[in-house]
Amino acid sequence: MNKSYIKCLECGTINYNNDYCSNCDALLDVVLKRKLESEKKIEAKVKQEKEKPPSKVEVFLKNGLENPNSIIRYFFKTIYGIWLFFAVIIGGIIAAVTAAAAG
Ligand SMILES: [Zn+2]
């Protein structure tokens, strides 16, 4: 078994073959720590996207999709499809322009 001394980054305590600091319970494995941190960041971003309120256009179109009149529903379905299509394209253009501006 691979035993090692690891210095805690949080409090400086030297720990012998521990995953967590004996003094402050901080995670000692830096690789694992980074991995957990990046996973947390991704999770937070996904959560943020989910909690983001839909735009006014989307709300308007979604209301239209629930219209009791089938002709109006069909009309909104078409518009909604076009809207989603353009939202993806515009999003892509904005991302490309941002990337170009950032160099
Ligand atoms: Zn510690």
Residues 24-61: pLDDT tens digits? 998 888 888 888 889 999 999 888 888 888 778 778 88
The DSSP bridge partners found for residue 5 are 16
In angstroms, what is the span from residue 30 Cα to ligand 1's centroid? 13
In angstroms, what is the span from residue 93 Cα to ligand 1's centroid? 46
Distance, in Å, from the CA atom of 61 to the CA atom of 82, rounded to the nearest integer, reads 11
Per DSSP, the residues of 77-99 read: HHHHHHHHHHHHHHHHHHHHHHH
Residue 102: its pLDDT value, please? 79
Query: How long a stretch of residues is the chain?
Result: 103
Residue 103: its pLDDT value, please? 67
In angstroms, what is the span from residue 36 Cα to ligand 1's centroid? 17
Residue 24: its pLDDT value, please? 94
In angstroms, what is the span from residue 33 Cα to ligand 1's centroid? 13
Average per-residue pLDDT in the chain? 87
In angstroms, what is the span from residue 1 Cα to ligand 1's centroid? 23
